[in-house]
Structure 1
């Protein structure tokens, strides 16, 4: 039966790998790959310039400890499905073998990101500590060991039916203190954090001897992880399994006033629909907001005019391009069936919505650019040009697609 538990998990893992392989074709397409390469180049360029004149009187050890502590709290991926709560119940006494495979998978699937963060912070502390790095080896070892011990503790914590927030608090305090002692005091006593974690794991495991498998909780956690992945993929292609949810954002109410009577017609309804769906939707709004924030951070951080213009233009292009998926979600939904109109009107409303979104983002980008480079502020008009050309290209493709559908 132990072998059966491993086979079941391996089967689920292959299913997930197959699904991700399918969606990766849409995610890492030509446009996004170029975007990632340019973004990486911009980060390396900005990071290198920043290291030449690092601001003083900032506790970088504490900041790095907090960041790495948060990234060290890996999520558990059980790959369980809703039906498992019923059909795997007779198999419960063998679920410990299944969870061993789950914890190993959870660790190695997230480990590359942890290694990347360790590499990113290395040049900073190498420069701050006059090109010495012996202490950083201890920090890197802790950053590799902590996540796995955290996963072991998390599993026992969930099995004991304790709250998630309390686990996060415990792990955050232990991880942060261990990292900070290593980076700031450069003291080997940070290894005590490992001993504390192991002691906690063994103690709660002892208390869990008679506890049953927490089916409801583990299935719910896996479903949430899977849905988050679908939301990310939905930026690039349609995902049937995704569940769109609405969120009330009262601060956006001034932009969502009910149209006057003369605006309730074919010409205006889809502009209102797209605007309202975007403002009240949970996924598209949050995704675009994150992209804008990342763009603004890079524009403020980098100090080369040409690079900032390229970064802003690239983000304008990516944001508008990703909104093409928003069109398919709305145009082929319920409203066209409730109030049928010509597809030309739907595309027109979508074009108007994109133009307004582009104008808002363009104004924000130009303000930041003008503050950073007052003497070159007028070059910010390039953002509007890139946005207009992108919208023109998107609308042209949509019209062509609708023509093929009619045929």
Structure 2
């Protein structure tokens, strides 16, 4: 049965890897790869300059401990499907072997992020601790060990049918305390949370001897993780498996007022639909909001006129470029079939949405740039120029695509 469990998991793993390889060619295209390379260069440059004049009065150990405690709570990936709760029931007694492979997969699929964080944080603590590294080695080891024992505890916790929020709260406290003691107190007692988590895992394992496999919970969790991945990919290409959802945001009601009767026509219909779909949509709005926040943080943090100008322009370009995927989701949906209108009207409404979005983002970037570098504030107009050129390019391609479809 161990061999069969391993073969089943390997088959599921090959299937999901094949799917990711297919979508990765849309994600890591030329534009996005160039954006990532420039972002990496800007980060290295800004990080190096910041370390030269780093403020000493900030408790970096506490901040890092909190952030790393969050990243150390790895999700448990079982790769189970909805039909498994029926067809794998005869296999239930041997699902322990399957879960062992899923725990290893969950760990190694995310450990790369921990390694990157270890590398990024090393210069910071090397500088503020007078170039000593002994304590940091202990911290790095904890970052590699704690996520795995956290996964072991998570599996026993779920099997015992306990709530997820209690587990995450407990792990956060243990992880953060262990990291903080290693970074701030620099004591070997930082391994105490590891011993406690291992002991708690063994105790629950003993209690779970006669517990049934939590099919519903594991399948629901895997479906949620997979859906989150689809939501991310959907910003780059169409994902057939993704279901659209809507969220009420009352603070955006002012821009979603019902149009006057004279505006109920094909000239204004698609602008209204695009704006409403964007404001009420759960995925696109959140991703664009996160990109804008990240851009503003980088612009303030880097504190270099030219680099800040480049970063803002890149984010303006990427945001508007990725919004092109939003067009295909709406233009080929239900409304064009219910109320047919020329393709030019659909593109016109989408173009108006992009210009409104560009103006809002451009104003935010310009204000931040003007406050940070008042002597060079007029250079902030570059954000609007980049936005205008990007929209022109996007609309031109859309019109060409519609021409090909029409032929």
Residue 351 of structure 2 corresponds to 351
Separation (CA, whole Å) in 2 of partners of 1:214 and 1:159: 6
- Could you tell me how far 1:337 is from its partner in structure 2? 0.7
User: Per-residue CA shift, 1:74-96, capped at 9, x if unaligned?
Assistant: 00000000000111011100100
1:307 deviates by 0.7
**What residue number does 1:78 align with?**
78
- Report what 2:192 is aligned to: 192
Partner of 1:259: 259
**Correspondence 1:64-75 to 2 at 5 A:** 64-75=64-75
Equivalence for 2:7:
7
Distance 2:52 2:315 in 1: 27
TM-score normalised by structure 2 residue count: 0.99
Matched, 1:231 2:234: no
> By how many angstroms is 1:354 displaced?
0.4
The DSSP-based 3-state class of the residue aligned with 2:258 is: coil
Residues 49-83 of structure 1: CA deviation (Å, up to 9, x unaligned): 11111112211111111111111110000000000
* 2:74–2:147 Cα contact (<8 Å) kept: yes
Partner of 1:219: 219
1:372-403 superposed Cα distances (whole Å, 9 cap, x missing partner): 00011111111000000000000000000000
- What is the Cα-based RMSD across aligned positions, in Å? 0.6
Q: Secondary structure at the match of 1:162?
A: coil
Aligned residues: 407
**Which residue is 1:106 aligned to?**
106
Q: d(CA) in 1 for partners of 2:190 and 2:268?
A: 63
Is 1:328 equivalent to 2:318 in the alignment? no
Q: What SS class does the counterpart of residue 26 from structure 2 fall into?
A: helix
SS class of match (1:130)? coil
2:379 corresponds in structure 1 to: 379
For residues 258-289 of structure 1, the C-alpha deviation after alignment (integer angstroms, 9 at most, x for no partner) is: 00011000100000000000000000000000
1:145 maps to what in 2?
145
* Residue of structure 1 equivalent to 2:56: 56
Q: Distance in 2 between matches of 1:140 and 1:262?
A: 65
Cα distance in 2 for partners of 1:164, 1:204 equals 15
**Unaligned runs of at least 5 residues, structure 1:** none
Are residues 1:166 and 2:182 paired?
no
Whole-Å separation in 1 of the counterparts to 2:385 and 2:191? 55
TM score, norm. by length of structure 1: 0.99
Q: Equivalents in 2 of 1:19, 1:393: separation in Å?
A: 30
Deviation string, structure 1 residues 160-187 (Cα, Å, up to 9, x no partner): 0000000001111111111111100100
1:118 aligns with 2:118: yes
In structure 2, the residue matched to 1:306 is 306
Q: Does the 8 Å CA contact 2:296/2:365 hold for their aligned counterparts?
A: yes
- What residue is the counterpart of 1:176 in the other structure? 176
Contact 2:299–2:312 (CA under 8 A) maintained in structure 1: yes
CA-CA distance at 1:364 after TM superposition: 0.5
2 CA distance for matches of 1:82 and 1:294? 36
Deviation at 1:212, TM superposition (A): 0.4
Corresponding residue for residue 90 of structure 1: 90
Deviations, residues 291-312 of structure 1 (Å, cap 9, x unaligned)? 0000000000112111111100
Query: For structure 1, which segment, 288-297 or 49-58, has the greater mean C-alpha deviation from structure 2 after superposition?
Result: 49-58
In structure 1, C-alpha distance between the alignment counterparts of 2:172 and 2:351, rounded to whole Å: 46
Structure 1 residue 42, shift from structure 2 partner: 1.0
Indicate if the aligned counterparts of 2:56 and 2:128 stay in contact, CA closer than 8 A: no
The aligned counterpart of 2:135 is 135
For residues 301 and 2 of structure 2, the distance between their equivalents in structure 1, rounded to whole angstroms, comes to 53
1:32-55 CA distances to partner (integer Å, 9 max, x unpaired)? 000000111111111111111111
Q: Secondary structure at 2:266's aligned position in 1?
A: coil
Q: What does residue 17 of structure 1 align with?
A: 17
2:366 and 2:380 in contact (8 A); partners too:
yes
